[in-house]
Amino acid sequence: MRRFLTALAFVAAASCTDSTLGPVQTVDGVWSGVDNGYSLSMNMQQDASGTVTGVVSLANLTGVFEGTISGTFVRPDLHVKFNFPGVQEIDYIGTMSTTEAKIFGRMNGAGINNTEVDVRKR
C-alpha cells in the first residue's frame, strides 16, 4: 500500500505543474515525468566534466523501484544507467530541449523496450 501511495504521489506531483521553466545548461536538480505507464523521478548532480550521478525512483503498476544513477551529460545528450538492487540495469538516453527545461528520453532494459518517458525540471 505504501508503494502504491508513493506512486500516486509522483503522478499527482507531475500533473500539478502548469509552469514551464526556460532552457537549462546542466542536469543538476530534480527532474520528473509521467509517460507510457511509468512515473520517473531523478535527482541528478553533474560535475564540470559532464559526469552525472544521483538517485532515481521509477514506478509502474508492478511497484516502486529506487536506485542510483550514473552516466554523462554533454549538452544536449544525456546517457545514464539506472541501477536498482536485484534488477537489470536500465539505460535512459535523452536529449535536452533547446526551448525549455525538458529532457526527451527513452528507457531500455529489464523488460522495458524503447519506452518514451520525458521529464521536466522541478
Decide: helix, strand or coil at residue 44.
Answer: strand
- Dump pLDDT digits (tens) for 2-27: 554 454 445 545 445 556 778 889 99
| Structural domains in the chain (count) | 1
- Dump pLDDT digits (tens) for 34-71: 999 999 999 999 999 999 999 999 999 989 999 999 99
pLDDT for 5: 45
Q: Which domain holds residue 71?
A: 2-121
The average pLDDT across 62-82 equals 97
Task: Report the predicted TM-score, pTM, of the whole model to 2 decimal places.
Answer: 0.83
Report which residue type is found at 13.
A
pLDDT for 8: 46
**Residue 69 in grid coordinates:** 544513477
**Residue 47 in grid coordinates:** 560535475
**CATH number for position 61:** 2.40.128.120
- The terminus-to-terminus CA distance of the chain in angstroms comes to 26
pLDDT for 21: 79
